[in-house]
Amino acid sequence: MEPIGDREVAAAGPRFLLKLEGALVALSICCTLLICFIITTTIIGRTLFGIAVPDDVIMVRELMIGAVVLPLASVAAHRMHIMIEVFTSMLPESFQPWLNLLGSLIGSIMLLPVLYGGYLGFVSVVSEGAYFFGELDLPEWPGRLIFLLGYSVFMLRLFVLSWQDLAAAVQSVSRSSSHRHQG
Position 30 scores a pLDDT of 97
One-letter amino acid at 85 equals E
* Predicted confidence (pLDDT) at residue 178 exceeds the cutoff of 70: no
The pLDDT-based confidence of 78 (bands split at 50, 70, 90) is: confident
Is the CB of residue 56 less than 8 Å from the CB of residue 43?
no
Q: At what angle do helices 56-69 and 15-44 cross, to 10 degrees?
A: 150
- Between 174 and 157, whose confidence is greater? 157
Position 93 scores a pLDDT of 80
Position 7 scores a pLDDT of 46
Q: CA 41 to CA 47: how far, in whole Å?
A: 10
pLDDT tens digits along 94-136: 788 888 899 899 999 999 999 999 999 999 999 999 999 999 9
- The dihedral built from the CA positions of residue 97, 81, 154 and 115, taken in this order, carries a sign that is positive
Average pLDDT over residues 21-49: 97
Pick the closest to residue 30 from 74, 76, 66, 75 (CA basis). 66
Alpha carbon of 53 to those of 35, 44, 90, 116: distances in Å?
Answer: 12, 10, 54, 34
Position 35 scores a pLDDT of 98
Task: Tell me the average pLDDT of the chain.
Answer: 88
Average pLDDT over residues 66-77: 94
- Between 155 and 177, whose confidence is greater? 155
